[in-house]
Amino acid sequence: MNKYAFIIDVGKCENCNNCFLACKDEHCDNDWPGYSRPQPLHGHRWMNILKKERGVFPLIDVAYLPKPCFHCDDAPCVSAGRGGLRKREDGIVIVDSAKACGNRDLVSACPHGALWWNEEEKMVQKCTFCAHLLDDGWQVPRCVQACPTGALSIFRGSDETLREKIVEQELQPPPDSQNRGGSPRCFYRNLQRYTSCFLAGSVGVEQDGVEECGVGARVVLKKENEVVAEQLCDEFGDFRFDGLAPGSGEYLLEISYNGKVMKSGPIRLSASRSAGTFVFSS
């Protein structure tokens, strides 16, 4: 049996909101009998784009996490829903409009925050994977069609092929989903752009009376006296150790240039940050 899943590349998402808006274009004020009642014009985020800004001016970056319903295999909403939500054979989880009607408590049945209350319809609603379109022969849902960067895609195949793909391409389940449960059918590429943090900084060197960028300065990152990583500063004299776990303790930096060494730390890394600018005087 071919089953669906979302595969989302955080590294390619630019927060254009095409997915979010295409979803609204498809579902607001449109009734798809057997699949979903109209989404209200405002308020719902069936495709919810979360934002993570990392670092301190001017050494920053930003990542986005598009977050639909994960169409979980072991969906808490389905088990709590007393028929209000059901799992299709192709993996898609659908709200049964008749049975879900009136049950406001269902909103909290989803541990991932993917259910939205529709006051007018008196029922929970969520991403349908655009099942009405796929069943009608469409190749992809509206959000995927709308995505200009290739960040959004869907998988269609057996669970076995999906597992292989996950391993091969190092796909990750949604952040924190292991704790929340449900076995999501939604996997992310480059998730560390969103979940991990970095320690960055700049190096300058005084030469002939002016300050130059510390191109090629060696920067060593240490934790409890163990070397964690090592880098040479780029052409702007910048360094950035990425992929560190937030709250992973205290770090030390050792920066060397032309035989001179500077040290910095301990630096506590609760979130991405900049260690500042290190200037080697001549």
Partner 1 sequence: GGGVVRYVNNTNGGPVFVYVRNGKIVRITPIEFDDRDGRSWTITARGRSFTPPRRGTVNPYVFGLRSLIYSKDRLLYPMKRVDFDPRGDRNPQNRGISSYERVSWDEALDIVAAEIKRVKREHGPGAILNSCGSHHTWGNIGYWLSAKTRFMNSIGSSQVVHNPDSWEGWYWGAVHHWGNSIRNGASDTYGTVEDCLKEAEMIVFWSSDPESTSGVYGAFEGTVRRQWAKSLGIRMVHIDPFYNHTAALLGGKWIAPRPDTGNAMALAIAWVWITEDLYDKEYVAERTTGFAKWRDYVLGVTDGTAKTPEWQEPETGVPGRVVRSLARQWGSRKTYLSPGGLAGFGGACRCATGIEWARSMVCLMAMQGLGKPGVNLGCLQQGAPVDTHFYFPGYAEGGLSGDLDNTGLRVSMYQRMVQLPSMNPVSQLVPRMRIPEAILGEEITGYPTDPKSIEGQFRKFGYPAPGHSPIRLYYKYGGSHFGTMGDSNRYVRAYRSERLEFVVNQSIWFEGEAKFADILLPACTNFERWDIGETANSGGYSHHQFIQWNHRIVTMQHKCIEPLGESRSDYQIFLDLANRLGLGNLFSEAMTELDWCRRLFDASDLPTRVSWKDFVKKGYYVVPAPAEQNRAPVSWRWFAEGREKDVPELAPLPADYAEKWRKGLQTQSGKLEFESSSLKRFDPDDPERPPLPSYIPSWEGHHVKELYEKYPLNLVSPHPRYSFHTMFDGKDSIINDVREHRTLIDGYYYWIVRINSVDARERGIADNTLVRMYNDRGAVILAAQVTDRVPPKTVISAEGSAVYDPVGEPGHSADRGGCVNLLTSSRNIISRSHSTPSNSCLVQIQPWSSGDVS
**Contacts to ligand SF4 by CB under 6 A:** 13-19, 22-23, 26, 46-47, 49, 64, 66, 68-72, 75-77, 93, 110, 112, 114-115, 126-130, 141-143, 146-147, 149, 151-152, 182
Residues making up the chain, counted from first to last: 282
Asked if residue 57 binds partner 1 (CB under 8 A), the reply is yes
Calculate the dihedral angle through the C-alpha atoms of 118, 121, 122, 123, rounding to the nearest 10 degrees. -70
Least CB distance to partner 1 at residue 225 (A): 31
Least CB distance to partner 1 at residue 201 (A): 13
Q: What span, in angstroms and rounded, lies between the C-alpha atoms of 1 and 163?
A: 14
Least CB distance to ligand SF4 at residue 213 (A): 33
The CB density around residue 14, as the number of other CB atoms within 10 Å, is 12
What letters, b where the CB count within 10 A reaches 16 and e where it falls short, cover 254-274? bbbbeeeeeebeebebeebbb
Least CB distance to ligand SF4 at residue 255 (A): 36
φ/ψ of residue 59, rounded to 5: -100, 85
- Per the structure block, which two tokens stand in for 164? 């292989």
Per partner kind, with CB cut-offs from 5 to 8 A, the member of partner 1, ligand SF4, none near residue 201 is: none
Residue 54 or residue 112: which is nearer to ligand SF4 going by CB? 112
Q: Which stretch binds partner 1 (CB under 8 A): 20-28, 121-129, 176-184, 224-232?
A: 20-28
Least CB distance to ligand SF4 at residue 151 (A): 4
What is the three-state SS of 101-117? CCCHHHHHHCCCCCCEE
Q: What span, in angstroms and rounded, lies between the C-alpha atoms of 131 and 156?
A: 13
User: Omega before 58 cis (within 30°)?
Assistant: yes
Asked if residue 245 binds partner 1 (CB under 8 A), the reply is no
Least CB distance to partner 1 at residue 26 (A): 6
Tell me which of 200, 204, 222, 252 binds partner 1, using CB under 8 A: 204
Could you tell me which of 44, 54, 47, 49 has the C-alpha nearest to residue 65?
A: 49
Residues that bind partner 1 (CB under 8 A): 12, 14-18, 20-22, 24-26, 28-30, 41-43, 45, 49, 51, 53, 55-58, 60-62, 136, 142, 145-146, 148-150, 204, 210-213, 215, 235-238, 277
